[in-house]
Chain A
Amino acid sequence: METQIKRPVSGDLPDEIIEKHRGKPGMLLTILEEIQERNQFKYLPGETLAEIARRLQIPYTQVYSVATFYSYFNLKPQGKHTIVVCRGTACHTKGSKALLDDIPGILGYKRDVDDGDSSFTTPDNLFTLKTVACFGQCAQSPVVEVDGVIHSSVNARKLLQIMNKLKEEETTKVLSYEAV
């Protein structure tokens, strides 16, 4: 009747991250950040959040509250490549909404990604598309960040180039694997 949330197997988690920060102010944020970084798919699975709460003896709901508040934390597996479109005012006036709308199509999917912290990850787990409120790079708007690199003054053509390069990279990899 009542299914409890599964406890993860002990040893699943990088213990030393928790122990290193235990008791320090703001420990929860640091721990969440480092554990997400360590995760293969750059996200925080539910079991991990539960384990952190249990180890730190803080309410489970508090961990969830923090993890959902900051858009930095991902609760779903992220694609290998992350594309972040800036949706700040400056970028918006320079057409960032059109860029955002174009990207799923370029990747071969029909999907709307709205503003805020919703994101879209392609089913093959290669690409994640997200938005951000502002990168603080307004002078070079509109900006799009790809795998941590900010591309400035992006227009439809430039976006296509960037995306095609990414896609090519992945196709070549698949081909070279097949050749082996």
Chain B
Amino acid sequence: MEVRINNQIIQAAEGTTIMEACRLAGIHVPSLCYLKDVSQNASCGVCVVEVKGAKSLLRSCITRVTGGMEIMTNSARAMEARKLNVELLLANHPQDCLICDRNGNCELQELTFTLGINEKRFVRTRKEHYEKDESSLSLVRDPEKCILCGRCVAVCSNVQNVKAIDFSGRGLKTRVSTFLDAGLGQVPCTNCGQCALVCPTGAITEKSSVAEVRALLHHPEKVVLVQTAPAIRVGIGEAMGMPFGSLVTGQMVAGLRRLGFTKVFDTNFAADLTIVEEGSELLRRIQTGGRLPMITSCSPGWIKFIEHFYPEQLDHLSTCKSPQQMFGAVAKTYYAEKTGIDPRDIVVVSIMPCTAKKYEARRPEMDGAYLYWKERLHLTEEERFYDVDYSLTTRELARMFREAGIAFAKLPEEAFDNPLGESTGAAVIFGSTGGVMEAALRTAYELYTGEKLGSVDFQSVRGLQGIKEADVNLNGTILKVAVANTLKNAGLLLDQIKNGTSPYSFIEIMTCPGGCLGGGGQPIPTNAEIREKRAASIYLEDAHKAIRKSHENPEIIRIYEDFLKEPLGERSHHLLHTHYQERGY
């Protein structure tokens, strides 16, 4: 149908919203609450437009176009109302932008500037002053900065089906809160951080460890190792001002070296290790009649989700630790032994696209290396250390790069250090939904059949859709597999298992939309279009790798020869595998 937008005639399909039609016409109508695929609350009033014949201004995010509609997005009336609505939000919003985590990347700040608001016209109406919620190991909520747009509530409820937060109270006392205002650390929040990713202001951010890491980098006795998750190399460039999905592996390594990390290693090494262990575990379960379907365990938000909501299905989870944790355990045992460094002097910092990794690193059971050394070095309880000391998000790393004055785009490409920087194409695709499945299939196929794979590309498990399934032919044996991203989709597969109708042997689950590349610790904004670009870069990196199967990684072969001996062996059991617990409410 034909509609007129700011005197320009455009064609829009039936069902298009005014906001979408405007976008087609090249006009950006701002909004603080609407977010494609996430929320449509129509609560902020920023996207109002004037429509000829309509009594009041209309919210363009929820109003659909009709044939012949005449829309003005920039009439005096629309502009005034838009500005007024932002000014009203500012009445209760703190004005401490200079010291806010989202300074320079805040939708409210940007809009205030764009709309030319240069005075604070309205006084605060909220009577209560809310404390920050710092109860979570992963996230910090500052209700003072909240503009009640509802995006976080929508993503937590509609995308993740976790419902850890919702609106409470009424009128001026309306706020986003957890059950009983207990705090995120006290309720079944999975720490996925999608709320932080969609927040238009600084009301939800990761709990930062930048200061601690910075201090350790200058510590004379510490050996500070850094590991980078697969999804960082397709995200960090964006945060440093490069195009969406820029593949910047080499620059990232160079930048980390310039920050002062002793060695720059790759979580991908541990991802290859995970595949060898997990692939072996899958085959063992199939061959010995173990619990099937087996479900991947790399994504810590997902782990906490199943512990809270489906504890009766915990034995479906692979016992493999996530690559982050495997890396920590191996770095402080194998690498320490190899180099003769006292494990107490090793600091493992991981760069993750994830906020849940912060929680995972602090799980009490994640101290495999300490237990390994306890007898050997006569360590006391006070000397106990975690396998991973600090986990930073992509955004925190960008902060460190900027602080250090690193001109990221101009950095030369450098290579990871060895041995824990050696990895294959199978490891890099861990960063995308379907990647762990594909990597596992590449290895499982060859281990199971004893034959070489013709093509290593399993196209059927690629793509960013919510649930994918495939039949994989292992030389006559058909393996039914499924891949899901987002916890809502995970729940659907778990309900199948509960009802006894799950046809699968192996399931991959990732907490965040699109997998880790859309993680809660990734640069803001992250949306469907950006996720596609990051995914394309991930598969590009895989295609260009000389070795694309985890079990062919020479350093993986070496670690088994020199240290671990065999997959699922005694050492693996202590260092690379874990257990789970029911968490209730």
Which A residues are closer than 8 A to B by beta carbons?
A: 1-5, 7, 46, 49-50, 53-54, 59-65, 68-71, 114, 116-117
Contacts of A114 in B (CB 8 A): 127
Q: Is B377 part of the binding interface, using a Cβ–Cβ cutoff of 8 Å?
A: no
Q: Contact at A2–B186, with CB atoms within 8 Å?
A: yes
Contacts of B187 in A (CB 8 A): 5, 60
Q: Name which residue of chain A comes closest to B363, CB basis.
A: A1
Which parts of B531-585 form the interface with A (CB within 8 Å)?
A: 583-585
Q: Contact at A5–B172, with CB atoms within 8 Å?
A: no
Q: Contact at B166–A64, with CB atoms within 8 Å?
A: yes
Q: Contact at B173–A116, with CB atoms within 8 Å?
A: yes
Q: Contact at B585–A69, with CB atoms within 8 Å?
A: no
Q: Assuming A7-B584, A65-B166, is B171 touching A116 (CB within 8 A)?
A: yes
Q: Which of B179, B185, B362 contacts A64 (CB 8 A)?
A: B179
Q: Contact at B166–A61, with CB atoms within 8 Å?
A: yes
- CA gap between A61 and B583 in the complex, in Å: 17
Q: Which of A4, A54, A116 contacts B583 (CB 8 A)?
A: A4
Q: Which of B137, B164, B171, B186 contacts A61 (CB 8 A)?
A: B164
Q: Name which residue of chain A comes closest to B166, CB basis.
A: A61
Contact bitstring B162-177, A, C-beta under 8 A = 1, else 0 = 0111111111110001
Pick from A3, A60, A62 the residue with the most CB of B within 10 Å: A60
Q: Which of B127, B169, B171, B585 contacts A60 (CB 8 A)?
A: B585
Count of B interface residues, CB-CB < 8 Å:
27
Q: Name which residue of chain A comes closest to B137, CB basis.
A: A1
Contacts of A7 in B (CB 8 A): 584-585
Q: Contact at B173–A54, with CB atoms within 8 Å?
A: no
Which parts of B94-152 form the interface with A (CB within 8 Å)?
A: 127, 137
- CA gap between A53 and B163 in the complex, in Å: 12
Q: What 19 additional pairs, Cβ within 8 angstroms, besides A5-B187, A62-B163?
A: A3-B186, A4-B186, A5-B182, A5-B585, A46-B180, A50-B585, A54-B585, A60-B179, A61-B168, A61-B177, A62-B166, A63-B179, A64-B168, A65-B166, A65-B167, A69-B168, A71-B170, A116-B173, A117-B173
Q: Contact at B163–A61, with CB atoms within 8 Å?
A: yes
Contacts of B355 in A (CB 8 A): none
Q: Contact at B362–A1, with CB atoms within 8 Å?
A: yes
Q: Contact at B127–A5, with CB atoms within 8 Å?
A: no
Q: Contact at A68–B169, with CB atoms within 8 Å?
A: yes
Q: Contact at A61–B584, with CB atoms within 8 Å?
A: no
What is the CB-to-nearest-CB distance from A130 to chain B, in angstroms, rounded to a whole number? 14
What is the CB-to-nearest-CB distance from A63 to chain B, in angstroms, rounded to a whole number? 8
Q: Is B364 part of the binding interface, using a Cβ–Cβ cutoff of 8 Å?
A: yes
What is the CB-to-nearest-CB distance from B157 to chain A, in angstroms, rounded to a whole number? 8
Q: Is B249 part of the binding interface, using a Cβ–Cβ cutoff of 8 Å?
A: no
**Closest 7 pairs (CB-CB, A-B):** A61-B166, A59-B163, A60-B179, A68-B168, A46-B180, A65-B166, A69-B170
Q: Is B178 part of the binding interface, using a Cβ–Cβ cutoff of 8 Å?
A: yes
Q: Contact at A49–B168, with CB atoms within 8 Å?
A: no
Q: Which of A3, A46, A61, A68 contacts B165 (CB 8 A)?
A: A61
Q: Name which residue of chain A comes closest to B127, CB basis.
A: A114
Q: Assuming A2-B186, A4-B583, A61-B178, is B169 touching A69 (CB within 8 A)?
A: yes
Contact bitstring B328-364, A, C-beta under 8 A = 1, else 0 = 0000000000000000000000000000000000101
- CA gap between A44 and B2 in the complex, in Å: 56
Q: Name which residue of chain B comes closest to A58, CB basis.
A: B163
What is the CB-to-nearest-CB distance from A155 to chain B, in angstroms, rounded to a whole number? 28
Q: Which of B170, B172, B585 contacts A68 (CB 8 A)?
A: B170
Q: Name which residue of chain B comes closest to A66, CB basis.
A: B168
- CA gap between A169 and B173 in the complex, in Å: 36
Sample (9) of A-B pairs whose CB atoms are under 8 Å apart = A2-B185, A2-B583, A49-B179, A49-B180, A61-B165, A61-B168, A64-B180, A68-B169, A116-B171
Contacts of A1 in B (CB 8 A): 137, 362, 364
Which parts of B182-238 form the interface with A (CB within 8 Å)?
A: 182, 185-187
- CA gap between A63 and B177 in the complex, in Å: 12
Contacts of A46 in B (CB 8 A): 180
- CA gap between A49 and B181 in the complex, in Å: 13
Contacts of A53 in B (CB 8 A): 179
- CA gap between A60 and B364 in the complex, in Å: 27
- CA gap between A60 and B163 in the complex, in Å: 8
What is the CB-to-nearest-CB distance from B153 to chain A, in angstroms, rounded to a whole number? 9
- CA gap between A29 and B173 in the complex, in Å: 20
What is the CB-to-nearest-CB distance from A75 to chain B, in angstroms, rounded to a whole number? 8
What is the CB-to-nearest-CB distance from B391 to chain A, in angstroms, rounded to a whole number? 16
Contacts of A50 in B (CB 8 A): 179-180, 585
Q: Contact at A4–B584, with CB atoms within 8 Å?
A: yes
- CA gap between A180 and B537 in the complex, in Å: 85
